[in-house]
């Protein structure tokens, strides 16, 4: 029942390590949805986007820019992971850890 | 009536951009020292500003948020602080120089030293913003600003050589005083492409409740307004080339600039010059202080609108009140308005990347603009403008030191 | 209201209250972590200190210094439960009355003490 509170901006940009301790990127985004089991408007985080840019959202979601960035990203070996909340260990919010190895983590195409 | 009102937004913004103390002073200096040669820089500034205005107007009409709103929303507070501070500092300097311009006009009209006029001007500006709504500020300034047509009249009376002017619209290199030439070029660009202009235009689109239906009006206003304003600035340059250059007069006082209209049009020309200086600088004063208050209010999420009574947007109305008085101070303290203008123009030019580059990102955002994102021609133009802005940033300080009169 | 991206769509977005009045932007979000449960988006923070802290510690220090200069020991920030959110769109509407929010303190103080005493300030629209 240990409820810790962490600020969103303290999570964004934090380096994430995989189960082997290798750095796989930084938290770029948190995706949240309304939790259907509970009453009311409770939003819970369903997954974390982890990549090499500190905050990918700085480059907005426009088509042209995104395609340009994706091409550059692919060329430079950029990878983005979509880590479900239950595969992310936030017991130490300053040092988030994925509970799987890098090659086992879901990726964005 | 409504269509005229919509056109007025573009005209008043262009007047604030092209016929205010910065453009008048830099065009006069450019014409005096290099004849027609710097006309291409004015053309470049006109086209760049027209595009930037069209884009920020389109952004506001489609996404229903101003450019300042989106600078905070899409880039986060951490990034936002950068354009906030840059635009703020630069705009405050320009605001002070515009108040200086109005003060000089009153000094020329009454003989009372310009220092004494600073506070009354700030108070008059405040009163207009306090009582007037956005339409009054917008349309009043646009209509009164038509007096600036006297610059075109003055130029025509002096019979400019059109072929030479035509050639001057193409980029050229100076034959003498290279540092001075490029210094004035940078000043002209800083006077033409001021961030407060497209920030004001974007907020104005929201004040006027523009929607997708207004996109063609937006294009017409941005183009027409800037062609009108830019044309008048070129007229000022041409007049300076014909009045000052032959006599080898270098412009270092505002009173000399009155000769621009007094020489072709006599006593009437002097009166028109004073009126033009007063009205256009006063209009620019209102526009800049509003742009700054908009930037603060939108960036921090306060209630804001010139159409609301001041009590309903207290932080917004306090902001423009304080800023007007603050900007009046340098003039009250007797700082030379022309020096202030020259410095503020160069600093403005140097500050451009921080508001031009983010625009490139936003104008390609499908979530914001849907099908109205930039096509490749607009993107190409914006990239060119962004590259120019970076060159200006790098060159500003060296040129100020080498070429600043 | 489906999935939202907290960094891209929620933080820094304009907030409006139940009367559609602008009451600031979301300056920070507090996430509640509990073992075995998905992290919960718990609280909206509206206020300068949270905002300043995002820029850096130096900014927070400046912010505190400015407040000390005006003789304010505590800052007026608001913590609103995320459950009060009614709609997430171009603006985020929360089911509160802006007049009750601590973060609106400066707006109200200026309105009552500075702005409204000056003639022509009161009323709705010009």
CA atoms within 13 A on the CB side of C16: 15
Q: Please tell me if residue B211 touches chain C, with a CB cutoff of 8 Å.
A: no
pLDDT reported for residue A57: 45
When divided into structural domains, chain A yields a total of 1
With beta carbons under 8 A apart, name residues in chain B contacting A64. Answer: 364, 373-374, 379
CA-nearest residue to C2 within chain A is A33
**Residue A37 counted as domain residue:** yes
* Distance, CA of B146 to chain centre: 16
State the CB neighbour count (10 A cutoff) for residue B170: 9
**Residue A80 counted as domain residue:** yes
Q: Please tell me if residue C121 touches chain B, with a CB cutoff of 8 Å.
A: yes
User: pLDDT tens digits, chain B, 405 residues: what are they?
Assistant: 566 666 666 666 666 556 788 899 999 999 999 999 999 999 999 999 999 999 999 999 999 999 999 999 999 999 999 999 999 999 999 999 999 999 999 999 999 999 999 999 999 999 999 999 998 888 888 888 888 899 999 999 999 999 999 999 999 999 989 999 999 999 999 999 999 999 999 999 999 999 999 999 899 889 888 888 899 999 999 999 999 999 888 888 888 999 999 999 999 999 999 999 999 999 999 999 999 999 999 999 999 999 999 999 999 999 999 999 999 999 999 999 999 999 999 999 999 999 999 999 999 988 899 999 999 999 999 999 999 999 999 999 999 999 886
Domain ranges of chain B: 2-403
Helix/strand/coil for A43: strand
Question: Which residue among B73, B78, B302 sits closest to C54, beta carbon to beta carbon?
Answer: B78
8 A C-beta contact, residue B247 and residue B52: no
CA distances from C27 to A13, C11, C12, C36, C80 (A): 17, 6, 6, 28, 11
Q: What is the pLDDT of residues C52-68, one digit of tens each?
A: 999 999 999 999 998 88
Query: Do the bridges between strand C92-94 and strand C40-46 make them parallel or antiparallel, or are there none, so unpaired?
Result: unpaired
For residue C41, the distance in angstroms to the closest alpha carbon of chain B comes to: 19
- A55, pLDDT greater than 60: no
8 A C-beta contact, residue B37 and residue B175: no
Please, what are the domains in chain C? 6-115 (2.30.30.240)
**Residue A2 counted as domain residue:** no
**Residue A39 counted as domain residue:** yes
Q: CATH homologous superfamily for B2-403? A: Amino acid/polyamine transporter I (1.20.1740.10)
State the CB neighbour count (10 A cutoff) for residue B55: 27
CA distances from B251 to B112, B256, B339 (A): 22, 6, 11
With beta carbons under 8 A apart, name residues in chain C contacting A91. Answer: 35
Give the span between the Cα atoms of C11 and B301, in whole angstroms. 12
Whose tokens are 């820089």? That residue is: B41
**CATH code of the domain containing A35:** 2.30.30.240
**Residue A3 counted as domain residue:** no
Token reading at B159: 């019979």
Query: Do the bridges between strand C40-46 and strand C28-34 make them parallel or antiparallel, or are there none, so unpaired?
Result: antiparallel
Q: Do A90 and C33 touch (CB under 8 A)?
A: yes
**In 3D, which of C19, C9, C7, C6 has the Cα closest to residue C104?**
C19
**Residue A63 counted as domain residue:** yes
**Residue A42 counted as domain residue:** yes
Helix/strand/coil for B227: helix
List the domain range (segments joined by +) for residue A19. 8-104
* Distance, CA of B294 to chain centre: 16
N residues, chain C: 126
Residues of B with CB under 8 A from a CB of A: 74-76, 79, 360-369, 373-374, 379
pTM to 2 decimal places: 0.94
Contacts of C102 (CB under 8 A, 6+ apart): C47, C76, C77, C78
CA-nearest residue to A43 within chain C is C41
CA-nearest residue to B310 within chain C is C121
- C23, pLDDT greater than 70: yes
- Average pLDDT across chain A, whole number: 82
Q: Is the dihedral of CA B388, B168, B228, B261 positive or negative?
A: positive
Q: Can you state the percent helix, strand and coil of chain B, rounding each to 5?
A: 85, 0, 15
Q: Do B366 and A61 touch (CB under 8 A)?
A: yes
Token reading at B281: 């600088």
């Amino acid at each position: 029942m240990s409820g810790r509170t962490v600020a969103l901006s303290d999570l964004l940009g934090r380096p994430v390590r995989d189960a082997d301790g290798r750095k796989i990127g930084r938290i770029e985004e948190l995706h949240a949805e309304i939790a259907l089991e509970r009453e009311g408007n409770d939003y819970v985080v369903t997954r974390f986007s982890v990549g090499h840019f500190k905050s990918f959202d700085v480059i907005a979601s426009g088509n042209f820019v995104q395609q340009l960035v994706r091409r550059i990203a692919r060329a430079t070996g950029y990878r983005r992971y979509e880590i479900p909340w239950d595969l992310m260990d936030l017991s130490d919010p300053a040092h988030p850890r994925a509970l799987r190895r890098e090659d086992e983590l879901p990726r964005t195409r | 009536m409504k269509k005229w009102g919509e056109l007025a937004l573009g005209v008043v913004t262009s007047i604030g951009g092209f016929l205010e103390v910065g453009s008048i002073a830099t065009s006069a200096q450019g014409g005096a020292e290099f004849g027609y040669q710097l006309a291409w820089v004015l053309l470049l500034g006109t086209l760049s500003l027209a595009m930037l205005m069209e884009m920020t107007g389109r952004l506001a009409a489609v996404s229903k948020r101003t450019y300042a709103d989106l600078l905070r929303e899409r880039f986060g507070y951490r990034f936002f602080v950068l354009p906030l501070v840059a635009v703020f500092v630069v705009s405050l300097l320009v605001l002070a120089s515009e108040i200086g311009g109005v003060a000089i006009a009153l000094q020329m009209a009454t003989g009372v030293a310009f220092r004494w006029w600073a506070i009354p001007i700030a108070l008059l500006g405040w009163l207009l913003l306090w009582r007037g709504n956005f339409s009054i500020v917008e349309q009043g300034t646009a209509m009164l600003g038509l007096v600036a047509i006297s610059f075109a009249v003055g130029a025509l009376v002096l019979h400019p050589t059109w072929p030479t002017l035509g050639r001057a619209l193409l980029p050229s290199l100076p034959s003498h005083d290279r540092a001075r030439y490029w210094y004035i070029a940078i000043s002209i660009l800083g006077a033409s492409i001021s961030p407060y202009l497209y920030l004001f235009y974007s907020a104005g689109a929201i004040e006027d409740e523009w929607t997708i239906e207004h996109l063609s009006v937006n294009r017409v206003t941005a183009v027409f307004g800037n062609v009108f304003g830019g044309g008048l600035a070129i007229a000022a340059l041409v007049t300076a080339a014909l009045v000052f250059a032959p006599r080898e007069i270098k412009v270092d006082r505002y009173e000399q600039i009155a000769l621009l209209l007094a020489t072709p049009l006599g006593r009437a020309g002097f009166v028109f010059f004073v009126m033009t200086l007063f009205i256009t600088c006063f209009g620019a004063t209102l526009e800049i202080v509003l742009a700054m208050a908009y930037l603060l209010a939108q960036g921090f999420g306060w209630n804001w609108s010139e159409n609301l009574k001041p009590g309903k947007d207290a932080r917004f109305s306090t902001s423009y009140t304080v800023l007007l008085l603050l900007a009046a101070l340098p003039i009250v303290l007797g700082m030379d308005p022309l020096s202030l203008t020259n410095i503020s123009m160069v600093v403005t030019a140097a500050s451009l990347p921080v508001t031009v580059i983010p625009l490139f990102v936003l104008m390609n955002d499908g979530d914001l603009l849907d099908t109205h994102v930039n096509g490749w021609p607009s993107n190409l133009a914006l990239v060119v403008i962004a590259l120019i802005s970076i060159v200006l940033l790098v060159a500003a300080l060296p040129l100020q030191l080498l070429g600043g009169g | 209201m489906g999935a939202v991206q907290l960094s891209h769509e929620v933080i820094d977005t304009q907030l409006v209250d139940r009367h559609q009045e602008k009451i600031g932007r979301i300056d920070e979000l507090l996430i509640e972590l509990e073992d075995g449960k998905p992290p919960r988006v718990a609280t909206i923070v509206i206020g300068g200190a949270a905002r300043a802290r995002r820029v850096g510690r130096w900014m927070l220090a400046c912010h505190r210094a400015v407040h000390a200069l005006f003789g304010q020991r505590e800052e007026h920030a608001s913590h609103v439960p995320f459950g009060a959110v009614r709609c997430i769109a171009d603006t985020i509407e929360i089911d509160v009355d802006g007049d009750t929010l601590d973060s609106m303190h400066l707006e109200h103080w200026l309105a009552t003490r500075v702005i409204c005493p000056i003639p022509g300030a009161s009323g709705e629209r010009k």
